[in-house]
A and B are shown apart, each in its own frame.
Chain A
Amino acid sequence: KNEVEQSPQNLTAQEGEFITINCSYSVGISALHWLQQHPGGGIVSLFMLSSGKKKHGRLIATINIQEKHSSLHITASHPRDSAVYICAVGETSGSRLTFGEGTQLTVNP
């Protein structure tokens, strides 16, 4: 079983829809990261969370430390949001990140 599990693996939405991507983890963490990867490969860090909720534009990330669960929400989705979204955790026991397999999001116009 992976230490970081994301769901769904693939998600197709219509423009304007509200989108949720989930991440569950099984280890103690110092922080959780949400990353975005567009076709072509480059990865951009969206959020780093250790508690509560963060918002940036149409993106909202939440984390529940007790339940070891985080969600990434996209409001009013747009085709340019189409990308792979990756959850990663920084473990308290080490200095490296452990990654989920990613969620491929496609937003159709």
Chain B
Amino acid sequence: DVKVTQSSRYLVKRTGEKVFLECVQDMDHENMFWYRQDPGLGLRLIYFSYDVKMKEKGDIPEGYSVSREKKERFSLILESASTNQTSMYLCASSLTLRSTEAFFGQGTRLTVV
């Protein structure tokens, strides 16, 4: 079975903390993605990576950075967490989104207090 695993299901962090969300896939996929999901807004792309050490900004990259040191792992970093970053975060991977399906992790619900 294909698998995308996010390190935490639920996280509570304080304003100003540096937060790391980890995602690991076991399918040798080239592409990995971080989304956030908010009521009424759907899923929005934060960053994606199409290869090791390669990254591209998505639609809402402000306040976030990413790291992809190994093909299977894609990390989302909140440099200084703020309350408006309270959200559901979803990681996904795909061989290529032009022709194959995307596989999603189970999501991390982050609350910043």
Contact = CB atoms under 8 A, between A and B. Distances in A.
Give the interface SS of chain A, mostly helix, strand, loop or mixed.
strand
Interface residues of A, number: 22
B104 A86 contact: no
Given A40-B107, A41-B106, A42-B107, A95 B98 contact: yes
- 10 A-B pairs closest in CB distance: A41-B107, A43-B104, A42-B106, A101-B42, A99-B43, A45-B101, A99-B42, A30-B98, A90-B97, A48-B101
Interface of A: 30-31, 33, 35, 40-45, 48, 86, 88, 90, 92, 95-97, 99-102
Size bin of chain B's contact surface:
20 to 34
Interface of B: 9, 31, 33, 40-45, 48, 50, 58, 88, 90, 92, 96-109
A83 to B, nearest CB: 13
B43 A45 contact: no
B104 A44 contact: yes
Contacts of A45: 101-104
